[in-house]
């Protein structure tokens, strides 16, 4: 059974930083791309970032490029999202997802974690 467990969310002031983690189990972690998707309170889903199975390729939404960094540790079955220069509009539940699909443009979010809340406020 695929399980994804996010952690690291919390309350942070504008301009601050957080590191989100997502521990995975139930599949061969290193062979799958992983993604982060966020959802602001009462709003829809927004793709944030994706990393390939090896970690060699990373992809970012324009809204977070230059401020967020995705990485993974395949020895620990964990994917990370380093979020810097936080803004009020970054307030959201951040979901970790295991990707499915045969090639990058066809990737989809196959399994989702329960999410971790990031609140940016002074």
Partner 1 sequence: QSVLTQPPSVSEAPGQRVTISCTGSSSNIGAGYDVHWYQQLPGTAPKLLMYGNSNRPSGVPDRFSGSKSGTSASLAITGLQAEDEADYYCQSYDSSLSGWVFGGGTKLTVL
Does residue 1 belong to the site contacting partner 1 (CB under 8 A)?
A: no
CA gap 67, 117 in Å, rounded = 18
Question: Which of residues 16 and 59 has its CB atom nearest to partner 1 in the complex?
Answer: 59
Closest CA to 58 of 32, 34, 74: 34
Least distance in Å: CB of 9 to partner 1?
14
Question: Which of 34, 94, 95, 120 is close enough to bind partner 1 by CB under 8 A?
Answer: 95
Does residue 61 belong to the site contacting partner 1 (CB under 8 A)?
A: yes
Least distance in Å: CB of 65 to partner 1?
10
Return the residues of window 19-38 that contact partner 1 according to CB under 8 A: 35, 37
Does residue 9 belong to the site contacting partner 1 (CB under 8 A)?
A: no
Does residue 47 belong to the site contacting partner 1 (CB under 8 A)?
A: yes
Beta-carbon contacts of 71 under 8 Å, excluding residues fewer than 6 positions away, are 51, 55, 58, 79, 80, 82
Strand-strand pairing, 116-120 and 10-12: parallel
Question: Which of 13, 56, 62, 122 is close enough to bind partner 1 by CB under 8 A?
Answer: 62
Closest CA to 48 of 75, 22, 27: 22
Least distance in Å: CB of 71 to partner 1?
18
Helices (H), 15-99: none
């Amino acid at each position: 059974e695929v399980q994804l467990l996010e952690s690291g969310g919390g309350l942070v002031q504008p301009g601050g930083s957080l590191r989100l983690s997502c521990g995975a189990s139930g599949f061969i972690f290193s062979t799958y791309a992983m993604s982060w998707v966020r959802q602001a309170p009462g709003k829809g889903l927004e793709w944030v970032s994706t990393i390939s199975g090896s970690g060699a390729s990373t992809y970012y939404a324009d809204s977070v490029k230059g401020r967020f960094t995705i990485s993974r540790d395949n020895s620990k079955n964990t994917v990370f999202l380093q979020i810097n220069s936080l803004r009020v509009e970054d307030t959201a539940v951040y979901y970790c997802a295991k990707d499915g699909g045969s090639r990058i443009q066809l990737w989809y979010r196959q399994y989702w974690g329960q999410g971790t809340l990031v609140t940016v406020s002074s």
